[in-house]
Amino acid sequence: MPLTLQVHADASNFAANVTKEEAYQQVLDQAEGLLYDQRNWVCNLSNVSALLWHAYKSLPSPSNQVNWAGFYTLDPSTPNQLILGPFQGKVACQTIAFSRGVCGAAATTKQTQLVPDVDDFTGHIACDGASRSEIVTPIVVRDRVVAIIDVDCAVPGGFDDVDRAWLEKLAELVGKSCDWP
Ligand code: SME
């Protein structure tokens, strides 16, 4: 009989007083386990959104001020467009052209966009006016952007190079662990 691994909600319990590095390490470790024998992108991006959300909420400010964490994927219906994927937070913009916003910039350049103050980023799309800083990391598979990780924070300066480094590791893991549309 095939072994069925039981996924448990405890995977998203983060201890109080861990460092940001330790929280991200747990996100990576748990994601690696969850994605090990599951390649469906909806399933995987949903669980990774939950891990990120609970990790941020376990940390001190500014990380616990994160107000949106999730994914946009390549929109199969329209070239050079992203479409909303699994996320945690409030309702968000449904589609984003590659030519628009922080997400579009990440998709076009294939580089992480770290935006300490969204007011300083020309073309920032304010799905939620409460968002004050943002980081977007592209997920690139065989030189093609298949999705982006987007995290918003309700205070300026919510993200730094630690977030960048870990989100890039996460993007690599997620990229190779899913079958993309
Ligand atoms: N602010 C993003 C849009 C997506 S939401 O933040 C969820 C952007 O400028 O691309």
How does residue 142 score in pLDDT terms, banded at 50, 70 and 90?
Answer: very high
Note whether 67 and 153 are within 8 A (CB).
Answer: yes
Average pLDDT for residues 26-45, to the nearest whole number? 97
CA of 127 to the centre of ligand 1 (A): 6
Whose C-alpha lies nearest to ligand 1, atom 2?
125
Query: Measured from the CB, is residue 134 less than 6 Å from ligand 1?
Result: yes
CA of 176 to the centre of ligand 1 (A): 24
Report domain extents, the chain.
18-177
pTM as predicted: 0.96
CA torsion sign for 175, 149, 63, 164 is: positive
Q: 166 vs 50, 72, 121, CA distance in Å?
A: 16, 18, 23
Count Cα neighbours of 41 within 13 Å in the Cβ-side half-sphere: 19
Q: Which two tokens stand for residue 124?
A: 């920032």
CA of 102 to the centre of ligand 1 (A): 6
Whether 5 has a pLDDT exceeding 70, the answer reads no
How does residue 8 score in pLDDT terms, banded at 50, 70 and 90?
Answer: confident
Considering the segment(s) 18-177 as one domain, its CATH architecture is 2-Layer Sandwich (3.30)
Share of the chain above pLDDT 70, in %: 97
Average pLDDT for residues 117-145, to the nearest whole number? 95
28 CB-contact burial (10 Å; exposed 0-12 / middle 13-18 / buried 19+):
middle
Query: Measured from the CB, is residue 124 less than 6 Å from ligand 1?
Result: yes
Whether 168 has a pLDDT exceeding 90, the answer reads yes
Query: Measured from the CB, is residue 133 less than 6 Å from ligand 1?
Result: no
Whose C-alpha lies nearest to ligand 1, atom 5?
127
